Amino acid sequence: MKRWLLMAFLAGVGMAPPSHADDDHNRARSAVVAGDILPLKKILEQLDSQRSGQVMEVKLENERGAWVYEIRLLQPDGRLVKLEVDARNGQILRERVRDRDRR
């Protein structure tokens, strides 16, 4: 069965196709349980006290053995901010800002 047909069939019967997101979720949960990283809720609470903006996207990546949250914030003035945050302690490692006029 072709992949698109299978996905349409699964969507039609209310099932989702298998996803790598499940694996990523399990890896992240294991890292939190093991104490290797802070839960996302704690990271976002720390950021909320330092930065204003609406969280648009969050990714958790393991870069060269270090867990990093990549968080995109839409600030009130329309700028998009991409933060790389150390998942162990919430320290901001890198910040990039894109002005709203730049698309």
Question: Pick the residue with more confidence: 98 or 21?
Answer: 98
- Strand ordering across the sheet containing 92-98: 54-63, 66-74, 80-86, 92-98
Which residue in this structure is represented by tokens 């709203």?
100
Summarised one tens digit per residue, pLDDT across range 30-47 is 989 999 999 999 999 999
User: Within 10 A of 5 (CB to CB), how many other CB atoms are there?
Assistant: 9
Residue 76 bridge partners (DSSP): none
- Determine the 3-state secondary structure of 27 from DSSP: helix
Which residue in this structure is represented by tokens 């330092």?
50
Which of 3-7, 20-24, 30-34, 80-84 has the weakest average pLDDT? 3-7
Give the domain ranges of the chain. 1-36, 37-103
Q: What is the pLDDT of residue 102?
A: 54
- Determine the 3-state secondary structure of 80 from DSSP: strand
Which residue in this structure is represented by tokens 């992949």?
3
What is the CATH architecture assignment of 37-103? Roll (3.10)
- Determine the 3-state secondary structure of 24 from DSSP: helix
Which pTM was predicted?
Answer: 0.70
* CB-CB contact of 54 with 73 (8 Å): yes
Summarised one tens digit per residue, pLDDT across range 62-77 is 888 899 999 999 999 9
